[in-house]
Amino acid sequence: MTSSSASSTIMKPRAHTLMIPPSGFKFVPKPGCFECYDIWCDRCESKDRRIIELEMRNNELVKHITLLQSKLFPMAEKAAGSAAGGGGGR
């Protein structure tokens, strides 16, 4: 048993030459494997990049909306308080 476990850890020469990806595609190595690759399309990569950009923009807009709400709601509370106080004096 020890000889089989020792032989599994020995680096074997490549069984085949690595493939060249077609144009517009690239190979991404799978973790833990030295010869297996997933194929990855440039269009998918640009789509992922665009999604990340949109998420960042969304976070910026959320911060801006939160800031505007914090400025707007205290004004609305003051206006409601003065209107209620002015109307009750009659």
Note the pLDDT of residue 6: 46
Nearest-angstrom CA–CA distance, 87 and 68: 28
Residue 73 predicted with pLDDT over 70: yes
Domain-located, residue 47: yes
Of residues 23 and 53, the one with the higher pLDDT is 53
Nearest-angstrom CA–CA distance, 32 and 58: 36
- Radius of gyration of the chain, Cα coordinates, nearest whole angstrom: 31
Three-class SS state of 17: coil
pLDDT digits (tens, 9 = 90+) for 36-72: 556 666 777 777 788 889 999 999 999 999 999 998 8
Domain-located, residue 61: yes
How many domains are there within the chain?
1
Q: Which domain holds residue 33?
A: 15-82
Does the predicted model carry a pTM greater than 0.75?
Answer: no
pLDDT digits (tens, 9 = 90+) for 8-21: 455 555 566 666 77
Side-chain half-sphere CA neighbours of 54 within 13 A: 6
Domain-located, residue 19: yes
